[in-house]
Structure 1
Amino acid sequence: MRHDPDSEPDCCPVGSLERPPAFDCPVLLTETLVLRAPHAEDIDAIAILADNPAIATMVSRIPHPYGRADAETFVRTSAKRGNGNCVYAITDAETGQLFGCCSLETGNDGRSLELGYWIGEPFWRRGIATQAVHALVDMAFRTREIDHIDARCRVINPASRRVLQKSGFQFQGSGMINILSINASAAVEWFRLDRKTWISLIGWSKDNKLAAL
């Protein structure tokens, strides 16, 4: 997952009077999760969970080590929803405990989104990432005129691959991306979920009801 909301693609030519479309990033509810904008109260939890090489080395833009100042910058910049980007804190619906973060970023073509997510290591293997991805995907296809959603995961991250596959994403190919925490490129797999496939899989929402506030 990318972790730098300030890094946004250019949307308009220089001198253009057009502005990027504004999109809501609604609070999303599932059976056990609330996905909402990161708050100042999340800073300490984000700093603790993200300061973990097992997290940072699996995503593209989380530095390591990761301190409180990094978390403060992340929370502040995530509020800038330019170009239709949405950043969410993944939290427990009952306790409000922070599990991780996820995001949707608008593709350069304006007809696609890129999905990213990370879950803190203490909360792995609970199905949290899959539940959050389903909520994001449903919201995106229901509220935006997009053709597909892309996602990437490192080839050495089978857990993330399983999340994408269980969510209907289909393998497209492999490539290399730069990983900030290791200051080097790493091999990744590229997955895509198109609208037609999503429509055929909407049944997943029976056990993962989505509501927008």
Structure 2
Amino acid sequence: MLEIDESLLQTEPDSIRGLGNSSIILRQPRRADIDMLVALATKPVLAKNICCNWLPTSRADAEQWLAEIEANAKQDTVPFVMTDNKGAFVGAIGLLINKAGSEAEISVMIREGHWDKNYATQAIQAIADFAFSNPDKNQPSLRTVTARCRVTCGASRRVVEKCGFQYCGTGMAHSRHYDGKIPIDRYRLDRGIWYALRHWAGASAFTPAEKPVETLDIKGAA
């Protein structure tokens, strides 16, 4: 299942648990992740479908970005690194909160070689739980979580629909890969729909893991 790395739990929700059949760990980024994150954001097979440019694309930018995250200076971005239960880097997912604090966008990228393993679905479900759980000083009271998918990326659309997101229109998004606009489909998951889906399935919100998860180093770049 999706475990919490309790060695990271301090004043911020660094790691979270999602649905009971999950097989990934979500935790805050570390300096050891920088090369992996930059590779994830710049690999063409992934970059061509990115609708939300929240990950840094150079090591210098990544170091500054991580310093701001660690200093809690980026209140509008809640990033997580995804690993499997053995500590292998799987991808990254971010919750990007609007200025009003009422809506946030989910953006997820899965490393090539880890596709078709249900990781994106598990991560999105866990982040939706995180976003809509009882608010405290770390989690604003969100009404809606949104997602954008490139119209030619059917796999992304299938994942967000599987997670309960509802289609709400089309639009355009800036692509760093193409240095221009790409057509997108928009999706949204309202708190009421999330609540109904969770309780219909008989699932409870995430809770801390019963025991700490061993921290493993992540080496190399994609």
| Alignment TM-score, normalising by the size of structure 1 | 0.77
- Are the counterparts in 2 of residues 171 and 191 from structure 1 also a CA contact under 8 Å? yes
Deviation string, structure 1 residues 180-203 (Cα, Å, up to 9, x no partner):
121000101110000111011115
Are 1:120 and 2:111 counterparts? yes
Residue 178 of structure 1, CA deviation: 0.8
- Are the counterparts in 2 of residues 113 and 150 from structure 1 also a CA contact under 8 Å? yes
Indicate the RMSD between aligned Cα atoms, in angstroms: 2.7
Are 1:110 and 2:101 counterparts? yes
Deviation string, structure 1 residues 102-136 (Cα, Å, up to 9, x no partner):
11111233211111111111111110000000000
Deviation string, structure 1 residues 156-191 (Cα, Å, up to 9, x no partner):
111111111011000000001111121000101110
Looking at structure 2, the residues matched to 208 and 55 of structure 1 have their Cα atoms a distance apart, in angstroms, of: 33
Name the residue aligned to 2:16. 28
Deviation string, structure 1 residues 16-71 (Cα, Å, up to 9, x no partner):
xxxxxxx943411343111111111112333344331111111132799x554454
Q: Which of 106-115 and 41-50 deviates more?
A: 41-50
Are 1:159 and 2:147 counterparts? no
Q: Which of 163-172 and 50-59 deviates more?
A: 50-59
Counterpart among 184, 189, 196 of residue 188 in structure 1: 184
Name the residue aligned to 2:53. 61
CA 1:132/1:174 → structure 2, altered by over 3 Å: closer, same or farther?
A: same
Would you tell me which structure has more helix in proportion to its own residues? 1
Looking at structure 1, the residues matched to 168 and 34 of structure 2 have their Cα atoms a distance apart, in angstroms, of: 35
Secondary structure class of the residue paired with 2:113 = helix
Counterpart among 69, 83, 86 of residue 91 in structure 1: 83
CA 1:49/1:193 → structure 2, altered by over 3 Å: closer, same or farther?
A: same
Aligned residue identity for 1:109: A
Residue 204 of structure 1, CA deviation: 8.1
Secondary structure class of the residue paired with 1:123 = coil
Name the residue aligned to 1:138. 129
Residue 153 of structure 1, CA deviation: 1.0
Aligned residue identity for 2:187: F
Deviation string, structure 1 residues 62-121 (Cα, Å, up to 9, x no partner):
799x5544544443344345335310001112x111111111111233211111111111
Aligned residue identity for 1:102: I
- Are the counterparts in 2 of residues 56 and 63 from structure 1 also a CA contact under 8 Å? no
Specify every segment of 5 or more residues in structure 2 that has no aligned partner in the other structure, as ranges.
Answer: 1-10, 136-140, 210-222
Specify every segment of 5 or more residues in structure 1 that has no aligned partner in the other structure, as ranges.
Answer: 1-22
Aligned residue identity for 1:162: R
CA 1:97/1:209 → structure 2, altered by over 3 Å: closer, same or farther?
A: farther
Name the residue aligned to 1:82. 74
CA 1:74/1:124 → structure 2, altered by over 3 Å: closer, same or farther?
A: farther
| Alignment TM-score, normalising by the size of structure 2 | 0.75
Looking at structure 2, the residues matched to 163 and 178 of structure 1 have their Cα atoms a distance apart, in angstroms, of: 22
Identity in percent: 30
